[in-house]
Amino acid sequence: MESGAPASSGSASEPGAGPDPGPGPKPGDTPEKPVPQEPDPQEQDRQATGPQEPALEASDPQGPAPDAAGPEAPDPQGSAQGAADPEAPDSQAAGAGQRSRRRRRWVRRGVVALVLLLLVPLLGAEAALRVNYSGDPADGTYTRGQDAIWLGHAWVDGRKTDADVTALAERLRGTGIRDLYVHTGPLEHDGTLPESVYPKAGWFIAAVHRALPGVRVQAWLGDVLASESPDGLRLERARTRAAVVASAREVLAAGYEGAHFDLEPLHSGDRNYLGLLDDLRAVTRAHGALLSVASHQIDPLPAFHSVWGTLTNHPKWWSQAYFGEVARRVDQIAVMSYDTMQPLQSLYGGYVAQQTSLALEVTPPGTQLLMGLPFYHENKFGHQAHAETVPAAVRGVRLGLSRTDADRARFGVALYVDFAATEADWTAYREDWVHR
C-alpha cells in the first residue's frame, strides 16, 4: 500500500504502479495476548514452606513439682500433642484450595459474562442486518446521473495513451458516471505534493473533455495519517495543514475540476480535519471547483467506534454526528462502504442499506452523497469477495434510499476501483443501478 492509500478501504494494487492508489482495507486487528494473572503472595508462601506447625510451649525443668493434694496439673506432653494436631494443617490446605477454586470460578464467570456482553449485541445486530436486506426497493431508485469512479495513478503518470482514453470513454458512456477521482498523490507527510508525480494530468484532463463532454476530473489526494502509528501526515500541525491547502491550490491550477481527499485512518471527532476542510472549501470555491472526500463508515451501533477503538486501538467508524459535520463542509462525500467484515452477501447488503440510511439522515440536501461499490476482489480480514459483491451493494443502496429519502436528487454510487474491476462488476452496475 502506498503512503497515499486509504487505510480503510479496498487495497487492490494497480498493475505496474509504484504505490497502491488506495482506498485500501484496514489491516486486521491483532488480538492482544492474554495478560497472566499475578499469583496470590499468601498462596506462594504456602506453596514454598508448606503448612506451619504451631509452636510448642517449653516446660520449665526447674518449675515446682505438682502438689499431690492440689488440683491435677496439666500434662505438658499432652498439651504439646494437642497443639500439634495433625488435622490442623490439612484443614488450612483444604480451605486454601476451596478459596482458589472459588476464585477460578468467579474468573470464569466474569470472562463468560464479558463475552456475552459483547457477543449478544453483535449477534442481534447481524440478525437485524439480515432483516434489513429483505423487501423490495422502491421504483425509480436508480442512478441520478451523479455517480463517480476512482481511477488509478497510471492515468496521469504517462502509462496510459489516447487509445486507453477512448476505451475508457466507451466504457463510461451511457452510465451515470459524472466524476472521475484520478489518483494524483500521494501527498508527502508534510502535506506537499511534487508536480513530478502527475506529469500527464493536463493531457488526461483534455482528453477526457474531448471524449466525454460534461464529465469532471478531480485530483484524488491522500496520505496515511499518524493517528495510529508514529509515521504519517499530522493534521495537528498547522504548517502541515497549510501545505495540504497549498497542494490543493496547485492541482486546481493544473486544470483539475475538484480536489478529492482520502486521509486515513481518520478518527471520529478530529477537529483538525474539520478546520482543514473549512480552509480547503475557501480555495475550491474561489476556483469554482468541487471539494469532495472519501469517508469512513458510520457507527452500526451507538458509540461502536469508541468500543472498537478501546479493544483494538483502531476506531474504524465515525459517529453519525461527526459524519454530518464533515458532510456540511464539502460538495461531495463518498462513503467507503466496503471492507465491512461481513461474511455473507445478505449481511453485507443489509449493512450497506443501514449505512445508506444513516448517511442520508445527516447529509444536507445540498451535499452530494455517494455510496461506494466494491469493484475489486480480495479475501482478507475485513473483506470477503464472495460476500462484498456489486449486486449485494446495489440492492443495499436501493433499499436504504427507498426507506429514507427515495427522492433525494444529489445521490449516487462511487465505483472502487477501475483497474481491479471485472466484466461482471460492470454488468451488475449497469443492470442493477443504471437500469437503462
What is the rounded CA–CA span in Å between residue 104 and residue 98?
10
What is the rounded CA–CA span in Å between residue 334 and residue 63?
99
Select from 404, 381, 274 the least CA-distant residue to 329: 274
What is the rounded CA–CA span in Å between residue 181 and residue 74?
101
Q: CA angle, corner 68, sides to 63 and 74, nearest 5? A: 55
Q: Confidence class of residue 100 from pLDDT cuts 50, 70 and 90? A: confident
Position 52 pLDDT exceeds 80: no
What is the rounded CA–CA span in Å between residue 166 and residue 180?
15
Are 330 and 40 in contact by the 8 Å Cβ rule? The answer is: no
Q: What residues are paired with 291 via a beta bridge? A: 259
Higher pLDDT, 16 or 286: 286
What is the rounded CA–CA span in Å between residue 113 and residue 117?
6
pLDDT digits (tens, 9 = 90+) for 311-366: 877 889 999 999 999 999 999 999 999 999 999 999 999 999 999 999 999 999 99
* The residue type at 258: G
Select from 283, 385, 399, 309 the least CA-distant residue to 11: 385
User: What is the H or E stretch that residue 219 is in?
Assistant: strand 216-224
CA 9 to chain centre: 8
Question: Cell 423490495 sits at which residue?
Answer: 136
DSSP string, 366-392: TSEEEEEEE----EETTEETTTS-HHH
What is the rounded CA–CA span in Å between residue 107 and residue 14?
50
Position 231 pLDDT exceeds 70: yes
pLDDT digits (tens, 9 = 90+) for 196-223: 999 999 999 999 999 999 999 999 999 9
pLDDT digits (tens, 9 = 90+) for 112-122: 776 666 667 66
Select from 175, 193, 177 the least CA-distant residue to 185: 193
pLDDT digits (tens, 9 = 90+) for 367-407: 999 999 999 999 999 999 999 999 999 999 999 999 999 99
What is the rounded CA–CA span in Å between residue 235 and residue 240?
7
Question: Cell 482506498 sits at which residue?
Answer: 23
- To the question of pTM greater than 0.85 for the whole model, the response is no
What is the rounded CA–CA span in Å between residue 39 and residue 169?
70
What is the rounded CA–CA span in Å between residue 361 and residue 405?
8
Select from 248, 271, 342, 260 the least CA-distant residue to 295: 260
Average pLDDT, rounded, for the chain:
84
- What are the respective helix, strand and coil percentages of the chain, to the nearest 5? 45, 15, 45
Q: What angle, 0 to 180 degrees and rounded to 10, lies between the N-to-C axes of helices 87-132 and 41-49?
A: 140
Position 274 pLDDT exceeds 90: yes
